[in-house]
Structure 1
Amino acid sequence: MNVQAPSVMAPPPPRSLAAMSVPLPMLRDILIKTMFRMNLDLVSQISRAICLPVSVTQELVDMTRSQTLIEATGTLNANNGNEMGYRLTDSGRARALDALSQSEYYGPVPVPLAVYAEQIKRQSIRNTQLTRDRLESAMGHLVLPPDLLSNLGPAVSAGRSILMYGPPGNGKSSISNGIRDALDDKIFVPRAIEYSGQVITVYDPIIHTSAEDDVDDPNSLRRTSGRYDTRYVRCQRPTVITGGELSLSMLDLVYNPVARTYQAPLQLKATGGIFIVDDLGRQAEPPQSLVNRWIVPLEENKDILALQSGEKFEVPFDTLVVFSTNFHPNKIFDTAALRRIFYKIKIDGPSQEDFLKIFAMVARKRKMPLDEAALVHLLNVRYPEIDNVYANYQPIFLIDQMIAICEFEGIPYQMSPALIDRAWNNMFVKDEAIQR
């Protein structure tokens, strides 16, 4: 039985400028830059663009109008609910150009880092209540050793770091994706955050999967619109997957010298979700160096980032980090690094019984009929050549190879000892000297 994931407490919308904790000059400049760049003249349009409630947007417009940077056009727009129109004054346009020269950022008002930190607590990955039913449902397409979920479940529920290690081709990446699927609730990701007057963009449509907002039922007494701060995007818990391309520089703030804004590093974008470091040991950076970068975040639940000026500041670290490697941990880490990774789970190859289950499952999915003679040949002749070491990737590899042969030869899908041999020869490379 599937257990529904608990809902996350949404960030409440701001009720006034004073309650927002954003410097008023920044609010004013974002307003006039947005009006200038997007050619907006109605409060309802501006409200949607800067992601503030209409009442707060009107308050901001009135404040900026009192500074003679905005003026009312004196006309009501009949096509938009008889709204009063507004436009920038000459001094407002000059101020907008000056503000754009300092920072090209306009649009959604950023969320102060301290305010976002409170939302992180409300939606912490450590608050998730993962059950065996949900994990089994997410891993249902995998054939796994019986004790693996018993070890994996508490590790995921704790929201701490996990190291999965073992021979290649046994599903470590698939298991990591299954963990992601098991965490199926929604959280709120800020479009941008503000620290010390600097804007750091966080929401990334490549990483974050936006969830459809609830649709209002006109007959319902409870309305969903306006129930959370639209400076956030409601998303599935994010998953960032990196492999051999991961470098230490990807974990730092990225400064855009043209826009004069920052982009959040990968681990900050993964806040509230999962950061998967796949194929650890294949990166240009030594594994020990990568793990050393994570020591403070893993131990203290905070990360330290630096601005262009050199100023360092703390951000919450609320991420389940999953390291996956084909190397033995003792070969790539020292004991201090291993101590800081809370769960170590070995992912071995399947038993012969599980191998046959996977083989049959893949064959059924690929519409490849099983052949007893071919399987006996595979198990009794070919696998003894590699000391009967089975891997999860091998059934898919062998069956896809036989399918390719059948399609090339123009014969129906089938398996035989001869086809097994042809497929087997493509799975391994002979260890032999090559004359050059």
Structure 2
Amino acid sequence: MNMQTQSVMAPPTPRSIQEMKLPVVMMRDILLKTIFRKNMDMASEISAAICLPIPVTQQLIDMARDQKLLEATGTLNANNGNEMGYQLTDAGKARALDALSQSEYFGAMPVPLEVYRDQIERQSIKNISITRDQLTNAMGHLVLPGELLDHLGPAVSAGRSILMYGPPGNGKSSISNGIRDALGDKVYVPRAIEYSGQVITVYDPMVHSKAEEQKDDPNALRRNANRYDTRYVRCERPTVVTGGELTLNMLDLVYNPNAKTYQAPLQLKSTGGIFIVDDLGRQSESPQALINRWIVPLEESKDILALQSGEKFEVPFDTLVIFSTNFHPNEIFDKAALRRIFFKIKIDGPDQENFLKIFAMVARNKGVPLEESALIHLLKVKYPTIDNVYANYQPVFLIDQMIAICEFEGIPYQMTPELIDRAWANMFVKDEVIVK
């Protein structure tokens, strides 16, 4: 299935309280807390706040009225289509305060974990089939050998774990970002999920990039745009990037003792997308310990999380995990751990031909004219001093250095052997003893 031409099936809108599959008392209490915290009185306002259709919201309002927790104000609001107004009774306020003392959560109704599982299947990362053209276009800003795409394409399409390794500065992070850009389609992220009566917030604007809402054709007979369960947010496939700061406890549920709610861990927020562990081997935890934490998710497509009570439960694990390291895999993993990582791809520095292609492309993009004598000086004089070891970061570094020098000297952008020497001097630090 080509995910760039075929849309993910949206979560259907619930049509009744029964279809919600949430505890009735929980729904009623979230309704009361939302009315209390947001000081709302119109069903349409309340509906938008709790992210439910107006008919379902009205069922909850009627239930709360039957329990003498809400009452009609007896006035119609002309500014809101002559809607009936509602307010909390004294018993309703007492119940809202009591519910807030148990959990501060209010607003969007959570999606039961079991219902969310169905949506994860509809938008699984494993449904993606990426073509060579899509991957090439997403990597258009990089000069990559053809055999690298031969390895990357099947790895991404399989939706399995990938280990990229090789010398620093050769674009492992850029390749990870290119894979993310190649995905291209949209998924539905729940604002919050519910398990065992507990609320776990998932949607995070720092992680999830909200997609533009679709527009209806005003001449169409049927209006279909944006008709989905608004307890979800339509987003780009998520990408979580972690580096040396990653610790094992960042993969656990985060409990807020004041709000008495949970926040989803990073890997749950990345469901349907990519989780990038950059600079593996630079974390305070050992790479072996980190990979051991991922063994069950990677092998069984499920993760185990724990509530404050100690109760453990399963959540789907539907994420393309990309590990990136400057170390050789045999230095940081045992053989059992390496078996768990499905694809292992070496990212080497460019050969001289590809280095020159990158150098020319960067110079053109930055408006620096190429100069043959400077290039000969770079290749024949400077690179032999480091055994002709080329890296993808070097063209950008050297050209940015020359630009900075030209701007300081007040001369047009140019490339000369002298400027190459000055730029080169900043790329490496000479080994020497500093007298203290």
For the aligned pair, the TM-score class normalised by the smaller chain equals over 0.9
- 1:283 corresponds to: 283
TM-score by length of 2: 0.98
Cα deviation 1:249-280 (Å, max 9, x = unaligned): 11111100110000000000000000000111
- 1:317 corresponds to: 317
Structure 1 CA distance for aligned equivalents of residues 232 and 150 of structure 2: 35
Cα deviation 1:195-240 (Å, max 9, x = unaligned): 0100000000111011122122221123125621000000000000
Residue ranges of structure 2 left out of the alignment (5+ in a row): none
Moved more, 111-120 or 400-409: 400-409
Amino acid at match of 1:304: I
Structure 2 CA distance for aligned equivalents of residues 358 and 250 of structure 1: 37
- Count residues in correspondence: 435
**Identical pairs, percent:** 77
Structure 2 CA distance for aligned equivalents of residues 212 and 402 of structure 1: 41
Cα deviation 1:50-105 (Å, max 9, x = unaligned): 00011100011111110000011111111111111111000000000010011100
Amino acid at match of 1:188: Y
Give yes or no for the alignment of 1:368 onto 2:368.
Answer: yes
SS at match of 1:315: strand
| Alignment root-mean-square deviation, CA | 1.1
Where in structure 1 do 4 or more consecutive aligned residues deviate above 4 Å? none
Structure 1 CA distance for aligned equivalents of residues 7 and 190 of structure 2: 18
Structure 1 CA distance for aligned equivalents of residues 240 and 48 of structure 2: 29
Pairing of 1:30-429 with structure 2 (within 5 A): 30-225=30-225, 227-429=227-429
Do 2:3 and 2:184's aligned partners in 1 also have CA atoms closer than 8 Å?
A: no
Do 1:17 and 1:56's aligned partners in 2 also have CA atoms closer than 8 Å?
A: yes
Structure 2 CA distance for aligned equivalents of residues 128 and 242 of structure 1: 23
Cα deviation 1:25-67 (Å, max 9, x = unaligned): 0000000000000011111111000000111000111111100
Do 2:76 and 2:84's aligned partners in 1 also have CA atoms closer than 8 Å?
A: yes
Structure 2 CA distance for aligned equivalents of residues 41 and 381 of structure 1: 78
Cα deviation 1:122-170 (Å, max 9, x = unaligned): 0000001211111111011110011111110000000000000000000
Structure 1 CA distance for aligned equivalents of residues 377 and 405 of structure 2: 18
- 1:22 corresponds to: 22
Structure 2 CA distance for aligned equivalents of residues 105 and 169 of structure 1: 45
SS at match of 2:106: coil
Q: Tell me the CA shift for residue 193 of structure 1.
A: 0.2
SS at match of 2:308: coil
Q: Tell me the CA shift for residue 3 of structure 1.
A: 8.4
Structure 2 CA distance for aligned equivalents of residues 214 and 388 of structure 1: 52
Residue ranges of structure 1 left out of the alignment (5+ in a row): none
Structure 2 CA distance for aligned equivalents of residues 131 and 370 of structure 1: 35
Structure 2 CA distance for aligned equivalents of residues 155 and 6 of structure 1: 21
Give yes or no for the alignment of 1:4 onto 2:36.
Answer: no
Do 1:6 and 1:128's aligned partners in 2 also have CA atoms closer than 8 Å?
A: no
Do 1:5 and 1:184's aligned partners in 2 also have CA atoms closer than 8 Å?
A: no
Do 1:3 and 1:133's aligned partners in 2 also have CA atoms closer than 8 Å?
A: no
